[in-house]
Amino acid sequence: MTTSCRLLFTALILATLATADPLTITFSGMGSGMVGDHAFNFDAFTFTFETDTSLIEKPDCCTRAFSTPAGTPATFSIDGIGSGMFMGDQAVFANPSPTELAVGVWHADSNYWLDLSGTPSMGYDFSTGNERVPAASAVAFRSSFPTSMGSLSLDSLSDVTFTAIVDDVPEPASVMLLGSGLIILCLALRRRGARRQKA
């Protein structure tokens, strides 16, 4: 087998073994606060966190809660300010309970920064839920996160919506079918190369 065919085969096996699905978590709404030296006042904002379902963990503090890992890659966009990246220990938590779904952003396994209480959702799970949850109430806490544009703090929030979307990756059977085709192609190319060398 040629080196390129071996590499393709290895990549295929790794892709088949992977069980994680990409997970995008978004908070959007109106807010007031500061980014670096720039104040914003009831401007539209979006915070977007990118992770995958295999990284969801149970924090020490809460038996029913879910959390993304500390330092979950995240970006923000605020009208009139611009866009940037979070640079700290930011993470997203969800605490499903029989009476409410509390979700938010926190300093991982530590103090809250943004907290939303929304529609009751006892069975909510980051790893499977594709839900858009309007918050019944939204609370901003007086702490901050480092970002590429300076320290980001929130003073107040309104009309906040939380969304978690799991993007399904191809099933292992589909990946194996594709891999089988690639292996056959590699073998055919190898035979063709061997025939040319004999001629």
**Is 47 in contact with 35 (CB distance < 8 Å)?**
no
Q: Per mean pLDDT, which of 20-24, 46-50, 56-60 is the most reliable?
A: 46-50
- Domain positions in the chain are 3-11+172-198, 21-166
**Contact assessment for residue 31 and residue 66, using Cβ atoms and an 8 Å cutoff:** no
Longest dimension (CA), the chain: 77
Alpha carbon distance 130, 63 (integer Å): 22
- The reported pLDDT for the residue numbered 82 is 95
Q: Which of 22, 149, 144 is nearest to 75 (CA)?
A: 149
Distances (CA, A) of 97 to 101, 127, 169, 193: 6, 16, 29, 63
| Positive or negative torsion for Cα 153, 158, 159, 165 | positive
Q: What percent of the chain has pLDDT over 90?
A: 28
Q: Model confidence at 56, in pLDDT bands (50, 70, 90)? A: confident
Confidence of residue 44 (pLDDT cuts 50, 70, 90): very high
Q: What's residue 49's pLDDT? A: 94
> pLDDT tens for residues 124-135?
666 665 555 556
* Tens of pLDDT, residues 125-181: 666 655 555 566 778 877 889 999 999 999 888 888 888 887 765 555 555 555 566
What is the sign of the dihedral through the CA atoms of 61, 65, 69 and 74? Answer: negative
Q: Which two tokens stand for residue 53?
A: 């379902």
pLDDT in tens, 74-109: 999 999 999 999 998 999 888 776 566 778 888 876
Span 114-125, mean pLDDT?
67
> Are 186 and 4 a contacting pair, CB within 8 Å?
yes
For the ranges 6-10, 58-62, 144-148, 162-166, the maximum mean pLDDT occurs at 144-148
Element (H, E) at 37: none
pTM of this prediction? 0.71
